[in-house]
Chains A and B, each alone.
Chain A
Amino acid sequence: GAGVSQSPSNKVTEKGKDVELRCDPISGHTALYWYRQSLGQGLEFLIYFQGNSAPDKSGLPSDRFSAERTGGSVSTLTIQRTQQEDSAVYLCASRIAGGSYEQYFGPGTRLTVT
């Protein structure tokens, strides 16, 4: 079946602009994660959605970052007033509920803030 998809694959924006990144998880996966990966760095957890529970936003680096998940499926990560340090690859992952903790990742969105 289809894997996790993300769009756009690349985004170049000017400092100060807002951007929206989209994630389509695997159908039936109730858990959804956003990560950020900077050059040469590991994956940095941003936010986690599980079913209808309140999201775990503990990894969001500032209040310029927000995310929502509509209808328990598609998720959008929004970065307001982008800064150059926001430049990174943003990865989305989904996971099925239950005992398996295996995460399925999308290809990522490469964000460049000029």
Chain B
Amino acid sequence: SQKIEQNSEALNIQEGKTATLTCNYTNYSPAYLQWYRQDPGRGPVFLLLIRENEKEKRKERLKVTFDTTLKQSLFHITASQPADSATYLCALGALNTGFQKLVFGTGTRLLVSP
């Protein structure tokens, strides 16, 4: 069966540390993968997109890696701040499900303590 899995347990880290979130998928042929941030009571906000032929993307304190052999994406926030506390969702645009549509993971909640 097709699955996109993110760690359902919250990730607690201290301010200034690097947060690393994981997204694993099975039985998808990815065209691209996106990461979104969602705050309580709000819709998701786009952060980064990485294509299937790219290994790494960076944007300010954010870094995404994509390993299509391991079928995994890692999302890193360096020098984390309490304001980074939110739920982070990965979303896959896959060739075998219609790449114009996104298939979302359930999200991982990040808590950054001062």
Contacts and interface: CB of A to CB of B under 8 A. Distances in A.
Interface string A38-65: 0011111100101000001010000000
A48 B104 CA distance: 15
Chain A binding surface SS class: strand
Interface of B: 4, 32, 34, 41-46, 49, 89, 91, 93, 98-107
Given A45-B102, A108-B42, 7 more contacts: A33-B101, A42-B105, A42-B107, A43-B89, A93-B43, A101-B34, A107-B43
Contacts, number: 58
A16 B65 CA distance: 47
B62 to A, nearest CB: 14
A76 B32 CA distance: 29
B101 A42 contact: no
Q: Which interface class (under 10, 10 to 19, 20 to 34, 35 or more) fits A?
A: 20 to 34
A101 B32 contact: yes
Nearest to B99: A101
Nearest to A102: B46
Given A101-B49, A101-B93, A102-B49, A43 B44 contact: yes
Interface of A: 4, 31, 33, 35, 40-45, 48, 50, 56, 58, 91, 93, 101-108
B43 A45 contact: no
A41 B6 CA distance: 11
Contacts of A31: 100
26 contacts: A33-B101, A40-B106, A41-B106, A42-B4, A42-B89, A42-B104, A42-B106, A43-B102, A43-B104, A45-B102, A45-B104, A48-B100, A56-B98, A91-B43, A91-B44, A93-B43, A101-B34, A101-B99, A102-B34, A102-B49, A103-B46, A103-B102, A105-B43, A105-B44, A108-B41, A108-B43
A26 B41 CA distance: 20
A31 B34 CA distance: 17
Contacts of B100: 31, 48, 50, 56, 101
